[in-house]
Chains A and B, each alone.
Chain A
Amino acid sequence: MIQVISFPIRNRDDNSALPSRWSAVHHPILFKLCRKDVNVVQMQFLNGVHRVILQSMPAGIAIGQTCRLVSGPVNADVVVTGISGNQISITGPSLPQFTTGGYLNLTQARKNYIADVRVLGVDNSNTYYEVGNIEVKPSPDGTFNINPAGYVKVIAERTDTFLYNLINKRIIGAGSRFNFQFRESWVGHEGTYSTLSNTNVFYWTNATKQLQQKYNFNVAEHVIFPTLNTTTFMSDFDEPTYFPGFPFSLSFIWSDRVAANQLQRVEERFNQQGVSTGTITTTLDGSQNLAVNRMMLAGTYPTTTKRLEVWLNDNGVQPVRYVGVGYVLGGYVLNQPGLPTIKPVRNVPSN
């Protein structure tokens, strides 16, 4: 099997409760994976023989074969000298007497082992499609790195496709999700691709990072977290200028951390004297989540409004309506057998 052992996650403010899965696609987005043919429970030294207790006995293993053992401090080729139940006995260089955990790779039995990674991006309807395939021969200890950035970058769009007619719109070509599936093959065996993960989804943005900028290739500074109010919009200006009558937008990342939340645009207006003349809150379109968004301003302001302060509010996770409006016809009555029915009683005049 193949296991992902390292992800391109950086923690915002070095807080492990605030992981950012968003990376700049013009830099490497590195995952480290590892081939693990069978898990090792422990290695023991008994009656002069090193024994490895495996989680299960894999098919194809035979006496005299060379395998790679990675367990504790051991990371070396060993030769199988005996097989019994879930155990094998081995000989190898400088083996310690006891280790726990790790894995064993059948490097001789499984010839020409290839790990095949299928990279998927999303299209404008946020549906996955394949953008490329990476074939890797792992290093002797089974580990290998992949960098899907080069494949996913084809989805990045330079030009402006926003029509400036919605309060906010998801722009897939500015930043969206990607995923990958992997399978392993060797002589005589072609594996099937792993299922697409729902939890280990990652995201790319059409961005670059600069020298000595925080978070390396990750754009954590722009990722919205429900508990932080320091996340920045993606603007070249510290204080942009809005020219009424001309199209304008602010860009932000509707991140996985607030995917199910209702976000709101809040605009506070200020007059020439810097005095606030009111705040207007508008709900954003939640169906545009999990991507870089372009957001418009309210747009028309009296000439006395000289400045705005704009920010996003998180209005929490909204309950999902089980039955939408119009799901059942009005007047529909479910027949419940067994319940006493109440018949309308004719008005009987009393004597």
Chain B
Amino acid sequence: MSRVTEKKHIDIDHDCVKNPVYLNWLGTNSGRNYWLFKTVQTRGITVTVDGTYETYLTDIENAQGDVQDLGRGARPRLTIGAKVPIPKLLGLERVLYSINVLMLMNPGTWTTVGPRWQIVRVVPGSFKLNDTDEKFHTIELTIELPAINIQSV
């Protein structure tokens, strides 16, 4: 009986969790990795319009309006962040370029019904990571959630 792998140190974070956002991403070595973003996030939404049309009004006394949208798009986004020691940052920053990032939708029930994940996409861009002599760093990223389905013409 002998040890056949490294000894992997795993920290356990027992903190009470407020506003949990749990991400699960695919690493470039085919493993999966996890981080819990907590406390506060900033919600946002990106709204687009797929063109407009105007109706020709003959009865403007009773008309409701002149311009309507052909369709609209809405994609929610969430800005999340974490302040972490640099060794943790070196792992966490890989979520920024992972090809598959998932968000846990049922933190309360996954142990009984299985985890339900939604694919989220980290908004790309240039990120400033830590200065090399820092001990802690705050990483901030925005994830796009699945679009909202809206009625269209």
Partner of B12, one of A206, A208, A235, A306: A306
Residues in chain B near residue A306, CB distance under 8 A: 11-12, 14
Question: Once the chains are docked, how many angstroms separate the CA of A151 from the CA of B34?
Answer: 30
Closest-CB distance, A339 to chain B (whole angstroms) = 43
A103 within 8 A of B: no
Q: Are A246 and B14 in contact (CB under 8 A)?
A: no
Q: Are A308 and B9 in contact (CB under 8 A)?
A: yes
Residues facing A in B1-24 (CB within 8 A) are 1-14, 17, 20, 22, 24
Closest-CB distance, A207 to chain B (whole angstroms) = 4
Q: Are B12 and A244 in contact (CB under 8 A)?
A: yes
Q: Are B3 and A248 in contact (CB under 8 A)?
A: no
Residues facing B in A281-323 (CB within 8 A) are 292, 294, 297, 301, 303, 305-316
Given contacts A314-B2, A316-B1, contact A207 B8 (CB under 8 A): no
The number of chain A residues touching the other chain, given as a range, is 35 or more
Q: Are A235 and B33 in contact (CB under 8 A)?
A: yes
B35 within 8 A of A: yes
Residues in chain B near residue A222, CB distance under 8 A: 29
Residues in chain B near residue A307, CB distance under 8 A: 9-12
Question: Once the chains are docked, how many angstroms separate the CA of A226 from the CA of B25?
Answer: 30
Q: Are A308 and B10 in contact (CB under 8 A)?
A: yes
B30 within 8 A of A: yes
Closest chain A residue to B12, Cβ basis: A242
8 contacts between A and B (CB under 8 A): A206-B30, A229-B5, A237-B33, A242-B13, A246-B22, A250-B31, A306-B14, A315-B1
Partner of B104, one of A228, A231, A246: A246
What 3 A-B pairs are tightest by C-beta distance, nearest first?
A234-B31, A237-B91, A251-B31
Closest chain A residue to B25, Cβ basis: A236
Question: Once the chains are docked, how many angstroms separate the CA of A303 from the CA of B30?
Answer: 31
Residues in chain B near residue A258, CB distance under 8 A: 4
A113 within 8 A of B: no
Residues of B within 8 A of A (CB): 1-14, 17, 20, 22, 24-36, 87-88, 90-92, 94, 99-100, 102, 104, 107, 110, 114-115, 117, 119
Closest-CB distance, A33 to chain B (whole angstroms) = 28
Residues of A within 8 A of B (CB): 158-160, 162-165, 174-175, 205-208, 210, 219, 222, 224-226, 228-252, 258, 263-264, 266, 292, 294, 297, 301, 303, 305-316
Q: Are B10 and A246 in contact (CB under 8 A)?
A: no
Residues in chain B near residue A234, CB distance under 8 A: 27, 29-31
Given contacts A241-B35, A247-B110, contact A231 B115 (CB under 8 A): no
Closest chain A residue to B85, Cβ basis: A239
Question: Once the chains are docked, how many angstroms separate the CA of A292 from the CA of B26?
Answer: 13
Q: Are B32 and A311 in contact (CB under 8 A)?
A: no
Q: Are B4 and A229 in contact (CB under 8 A)?
A: yes
Question: Once the chains are docked, how many angstroms separate the CA of A224 from the CA of B7?
Answer: 13
Question: Once the chains are docked, how many angstroms separate the CA of A235 from the CA of B34?
Answer: 10
Q: Are B6 and A229 in contact (CB under 8 A)?
A: yes
Q: Are A229 and B32 in contact (CB under 8 A)?
A: no
Residues in chain B near residue A246, CB distance under 8 A: 20, 22, 34, 36, 104, 107
Q: Are A163 and B115 in contact (CB under 8 A)?
A: yes
Other 7 A-B pairs with CB < 8 A, given A235-B8, A252-B5? A158-B99, A165-B114, A225-B4, A230-B6, A240-B34, A241-B10, A308-B12
Residues in chain A near residue B1, CB distance under 8 A: 264, 313-316
Closest-CB distance, B135 to chain A (whole angstroms) = 15
Q: Are A247 and B34 in contact (CB under 8 A)?
A: yes
Q: Are B24 and A247 in contact (CB under 8 A)?
A: yes
Closest-CB distance, A162 to chain B (whole angstroms) = 8
Closest chain B residue to A221, Cβ basis: B29
Question: Once the chains are docked, how many angstroms separate the CA of A234 from the CA of B30?
Answer: 7
Q: Are A164 and B114 in contact (CB under 8 A)?
A: yes
Closest-CB distance, A268 to chain B (whole angstroms) = 8
Residues in chain A near residue B17, CB distance under 8 A: 243, 245
Question: Once the chains are docked, how many angstroms separate the CA of A297 from the CA of B10?
Answer: 10
Residues in chain B near residue A224, CB distance under 8 A: 4-5
Q: Are A311 and B6 in contact (CB under 8 A)?
A: yes
Residues in chain B near residue A232, CB distance under 8 A: 5-6
Q: Are A160 and B5 in contact (CB under 8 A)?
A: no
Closest chain A residue to B33, Cβ basis: A236
Question: Once the chains are docked, how many angstroms separate the CA of A68 from the CA of B115?
Answer: 62
Q: Are B32 and A294 in contact (CB under 8 A)?
A: yes
Closest chain A residue to B119, Cβ basis: A159
Q: Are A235 and B27 in contact (CB under 8 A)?
A: yes
Question: Once the chains are docked, how many angstroms separate the CA of A309 from the CA of B6?
Answer: 9
Residues in chain A near residue B8, CB distance under 8 A: 233, 235, 239-240, 250, 309-311
Closest chain B residue to A165, Cβ basis: B114
